[in-house]
Amino acid sequence: MLLGPSGVGKSSTALAYMVAALARGERGLILSFDEPTGILLRRAAGLGMDIREPIAEGRLRVEQIDPAEVSPGELAAMVRHAVEDEDVRLVLIDSLTGYQSAMPGEQYLLLQMHEILTYLNQQGVTTLLVLAQHGLLGQMSSAVDLTYLSDTVVLFRFFEAAGRLRRAVSVVKKRVGPHEDTIRELRIDGGGFRVGAPLVGFQGVLTGAPHLASAGTRIAV
Ligand SMILES: Nc1ncnc2c1ncn2[C@@H]1O[C@H](COP(=O)(O)OP(=O)(O)O)[C@@H](O)[C@H]1O
Ligand SMILES: [Mg+2]
């Protein structure tokens, strides 16, 4: 699960995982609830990830889904078809927030999600779930807590430093085994994105308004 506020880079990061899977020769499916395919392609190209070729070759399928028109049952069938008939190994649901609006209620969403994820797990398929949180800086929340369904949760945050809006990324959960506990800077630009060194000079990055950890520490701007 990729969790964080709007515009922080969740979809782009998820897409980078998808591009890596495609490069390994795997097939992928993107269920896009939040944005038209054209926007997705344009942003991907701007970040140095051209996915038009794998789409044309049938290695990647992008389904733009209007929650008002597709029932939860149809969605589940779409996923099963992709796995069983097209040998898809990586499914990206972007976003659960959009998926949720296709559901009649929260309990229903949890049951549906649980069923789909259990199925994909049993098939050995990796699922990337994007979940947007309310708010841009500071305290944040999601309408529904789905983190318990995820094996790994990557948290994205904006923070403010030296007159710039910056991004931080950290792993907050991995169901099996240890994981890195540092908070690192994430930079997104035309060359793609880069994960920087741990933000050891700051205290309170996850609050959105950090201060310097100790006097004399230099901030890398
Ligand atoms: N070509 C680009 N160059 C620089 N920054 C970009 C580019 N494309 C997107 N971005 C940045 O990425 C952000 C969108 O990232 P996205 O993955 O869509 O976020 P999220 O899915 O978390 O809402 C934009 O707000 C912009 O800051
Ligand atoms: Mg997004």
Taking the CA of residue 2 as reference, the ligand 1 atom at the shortest distance is: 22
Are 50 and 29 within 8 A, CB to CB? Answer: no
| Distance of CA 218 from the midpoint of ligand 1 (Å) | 27
DSSP state of 220: P
DSSP state of 215: T
What 3-state DSSP class applies to 209? Answer: coil
Please, which residues have CB less than 5 A from ligand 2, an ion?
A: 11
In a domain, 118, yes or no: yes
In a domain, 19, yes or no: yes
Instruction: Name the residue at shortest CA distance from atom 1 of ligand 1.
Output: 46
Give the domain extent around 30. 2-212
Tokens 């308004």 belong to 209
In a domain, 68, yes or no: yes
What's the confidence (pLDDT) of residue 56?
Answer: 97
In a domain, 221, yes or no: no
List pocket residues of ligand 1, CB cut-off 6 Å: 4, 6-12, 43, 46-47, 188-190
Number of domains in the chain: 1
In a domain, 218, yes or no: no
Q: Which two tokens stand for residue 96?
A: 């659960």
In a domain, 220, yes or no: no
- For the chain, the residue count is 221
In a domain, 217, yes or no: no
In a domain, 31, yes or no: yes
Helices (H) and strands (E) in the chain, counts: 6, 11
Q: Please choose, from the candidates 146, 29, 40, the residue with its C-alpha nearest in 3D space to the C-alpha of residue 90.
A: 29
Please tell me the number of the ligand nearest to residue 15's CA: 1
- The burial of 192, by beta-carbon neighbours within 10 Å (0-12 exposed, 13-18 middle, 19 or more buried), is given as middle
Output the pTM of the full model.
0.91
pLDDT in tens, the chain (221 residues): 999 999 999 999 999 999 999 999 999 999 999 899 999 999 999 999 989 999 999 999 999 998 888 888 888 999 999 999 999 999 999 988 877 776 777 778 788 888 999 999 999 999 999 999 887 777 777 766 778 889 999 999 999 888 899 999 999 999 999 999 999 999 998 878 899 999 998 888 888 888 887 655 555 55
Supply the CATH number for residue 141's domain: 3.40.50.300
CA 121 and chain centroid, separation: 18
